[in-house]
Structure 1
């Protein structure tokens, strides 16, 4: 390096590297999934939710239908329970961590995952039986639902809402093979009128039962924020209704930021 020419070349190279770094060659940060909500039943209890809709009509007084049971949350439904003349509803709504209420706002992308246990007594019905809903806070009907329906055979479906307020029914899988075991459920979605999408994944152990996606869905209303609901919401206008329940554990909600 005693050669003056070599020294000049080294200085020029160093200046070039420094100049390149100074001009903003640092890559932009890629979007990542950040965990927002992961309640522990024993510690958080029912405070994990924004609120409960537990026998609002007082049809089954002095009975709690939503409660912690071991490592999971339990949602009971009895044939006598009512939420209006023709339906039943025992659901939790929203996501809360301590004093923080997690709101799903316009154009945000979220992933919500959990494990569900659906017993044989939770029968597919000819009318609606929703075991998950995504709704606008305190306004209107659901943007999508997870719904076991009695067709030619019991079938798990997703009902999505389109821009014209019509519903599209997506067939996911046979219902019976998914019962009496823990099933992984995952939703990924962008809460938008334009450019929104919904993806659903159902896994039975290591087997992916279905992995579907649609953009033909309206996932925003310019009114309030979105919030998920879990439990059982069903019509009484179907035969074969039984006392039943749904178990949920390992809730997790991530936001893409």
Structure 2
């Protein structure tokens, strides 16, 4: 799973996009393929990822009237510029074209916001498929309840849920909620972000993490249900310098 962030790829305030060097997600994906792995790309435009402004460049907020994560015209125009540069790079990497990329995630945990702008989220779906093809698998990620899925799930895409170690009752409830938003009520159940740990905020010595026993108990139960689950994350790192995001509950 790889995030692709708008502000990380920008050069000269949107005039040019740079996907080289450590931003080279193509090389990352091809290395994974050489190792016999598939990849999933999360193409935003909002990605979160504990990254500065969720992946949006700061100047996007300086433009009068811009309302990120909505169908406001100025914001949509900025997203279109990003996708016009990004999607041609992704196309040859798709599994149907011989590459390792199985699915693309649009937005991230959109159901956790108060926007609930269907015009925006369906536009993302249609724009991506308009360039990559109607058979491109697009998915969303939201919290494991209808409270999140009702605005986060996008019609005619694959909705997934995310949660960490919890009770069997909560796990079953999360997947039951996911099923309600699947196209035609059918599809595999999946936890696209299963949290075996958590990030460390400035001022904290360490994060509160679940025990190995709790992690394995939930993982085994999901497996028994026939669910797919993605450990988020097996390998992680630090968002250095001013790329790190902020948290409202930071010390």
Judge same fold: TM > 0.5, yes or no.
no
Task: Name the one with the larger helix percent.
Answer: 2
Q: Which has the higher contact order (CA 8 A, sep 6+)?
A: 1
TM-score relative to the length of structure 1: 0.28
Higher fraction of strand: 1
